């Protein structure tokens, strides 16, 4: 019988073409839980992005599952421990969208610095208000990078060209490695106290969830601008709303939210908060790379061949 590959979220057409040749490709909405559990019962492979929760219940329903593929970086929606216990392989595409994610963080940072979104909204509504939307320059400012991994490094390298002073908090990185990049490693408290801009580039884990909460936002340099294009919940949303209301935080750029999808948040009420609906990886290039990478891995896994690191 032809193995079934179940695609639970949007995947690049080029990747679907790769799979359709050898496999029975089926589609389901991964956020529709009953539909997912029914469809996975016949699947040999399951492909998801970030909106589908792949947990023990999914593995129990997927009697024939051999591989779960995450078309992207973060594996916080895939229970890898349960997969391993059931002998299901988990693959992702760890470098596919890192440039896009870093560029999205920079786009948000600049939009917050220059009030781009609110000024655009204002002009389109018939106002011409130049003074109201005066911003700040990035050059000469201290930029704090929380998490100096693949995306944090790309973000830092690009921000260096703006003439910024770069500091980072990442206890798992060697100071020499950071120094090579022109970044000074500091503790979290020092980063919070010194940064004019903070950008978070962490995975969501039990350790990082809520890493920047009420206490940490109480330590920031007044007027800091904060960007999160990594994962919702790394910065506590309630605490951020309070810090924005008090003016301690001058603006925020947010691509991700603690609950997704969402169309409501106290943060949406602030004119100095720029939001996007988890678009960090939503570029033609990143989607092609992520889709093709997982399509190749799924193909190898279902053909019983060695799956190299993507």
Interface residues with ligand NAD (CB under 6 A) are: 72-74, 97-98, 101, 147-152, 169-173, 201-204, 207-208, 229-231, 255-256, 278, 280-281
Query: Which stretch in 36-44, 70-78, 237-245, 301-309 sits in contact with ligand MLT by CB under 6 A?
Result: 70-78
Which SS3 state, helix, strand or coil, does residue 240 take?
helix
Binding residue for ligand MLT (CB under 6 A) from 11, 65, 68, 73?
73
Residue in the block written with tokens 């078309």: 71
- Residue tagged active-site, from 49, 70, 204, 231: 231
Q: Of 251, 140, 253, 141, whose CA–CA distance to 194 is shortest?
A: 141
Mention every residue, 6+ apart, whose C-beta is less than 8 A from residue 305: none
User: What is the smallest separation between the CB atom of 218 and ligand NAD, expressed in angstroms?
Assistant: 19
Q: Is 231 a catalytic residue?
A: yes
Q: Is the peptide bond before 261 cis (omega within 30 degrees of 0)?
A: yes
Binding residue for ligand MLT (CB under 6 A) from 97, 195, 199, 293?
97
Q: Are 52 and 76 in contact (CB under 8 A)?
A: no
Comparison of 27 and 150: residue with beta carbon closer to ligand NAD: 150
Would you give the distance in Å from CA 176 to the centre of its chain? Answer: 27
Establish if 281 lies at the interface with ligand MLT (CB under 6 A). yes
Q: Of 260, 212, 263, whose CA–CA distance to 238 is shortest?
A: 212
From ligand NAD, ligand MLT, none, which one binds at residue 49 (CB under 5 to 8 Å depending on kind)?
Answer: ligand MLT
From ligand MLT, ligand NAD, none, which one binds at residue 141 (CB under 5 to 8 Å depending on kind)?
Answer: none
Q: Is 9 a catalytic residue?
A: no
Binding residue for ligand MLT (CB under 6 A) from 74, 144, 147, 253?
74
Q: Is 246 a catalytic residue?
A: no
Mention every residue, 6+ apart, whose C-beta is less than 8 A from residue 190: 167, 169
Which one-letter DSSP state was computed for residue 269?
G
Cα(56)–Cα(135) distance, integer angstroms: 48
Number of residues that bind ligand MLT (CB under 6 A): 8
Contacts with ligand MLT, residue ranges (CB under 6 A): 49-50, 72-74, 97, 280-281
Catalytic residues: 231, 260, 278
């Amino acid at each position: 019988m032809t193995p079934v590959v179940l695609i639970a979220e949007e995947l690049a057409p080029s990747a679907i073409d790769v799979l359709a040749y050898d496999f029975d490709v089926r589609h389901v909405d991964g956020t529709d839980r009953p539909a997912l559990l029914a469809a996975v019962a016949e699947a040999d492979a399951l492909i998801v992005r970030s909106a589908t929760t792949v947990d023990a219940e999914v593995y129990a329903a997927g009697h024939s599952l051999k591989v779960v593929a995450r078309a992207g970086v973060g594996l916080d929606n895939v229970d890898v421990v349960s997969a391993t216990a059931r002998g299901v392989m988990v693959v992702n595409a760890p470098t596919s969208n890192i440039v896009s994610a870093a560029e999205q963080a920079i786009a948000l940072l600049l939009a917050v610095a220059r009030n781009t979104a609110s000024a655009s909204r204002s002009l389109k509504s018939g106002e011409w208000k130049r003074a109201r939307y005066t911003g700040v320059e990035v050059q000469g400012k201290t930029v704090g990078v929380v998490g100096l991994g693949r995306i944090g490094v790309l973000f830092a390298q690009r921000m260096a060209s703006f003439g910024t002073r770069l500091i980072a908090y990442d206890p798992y990185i060697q100071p020499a490695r950071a120094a090579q990049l022109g970044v000074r490693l500091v503790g979290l408290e020092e980063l919070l106290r010194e940064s004019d801009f903070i950008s978070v580039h962490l995975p969501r884990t039990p350790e990082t969830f809520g890493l920047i909460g009420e206490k940490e936002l109480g330590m920031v340099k007044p007027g800091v601008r904060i960007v999160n294009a990594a994962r919702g919940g790394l910065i506590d949303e309630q605490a951020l709303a309070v810090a924005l209301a008090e003016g301690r935080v001058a603006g925020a750029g947010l691509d991700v939210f603690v609950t997704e999808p969402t169309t409501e948040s106290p943060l949406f009420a602030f004119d100095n908060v720029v939001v996007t609906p988890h678009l960090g990886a939503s570029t033609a290039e990143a989607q092609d790379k992520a889709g093709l990478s997982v399509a190749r891995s799924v193909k190898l896994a279902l053909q019983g061949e060695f799956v190299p690191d993507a």
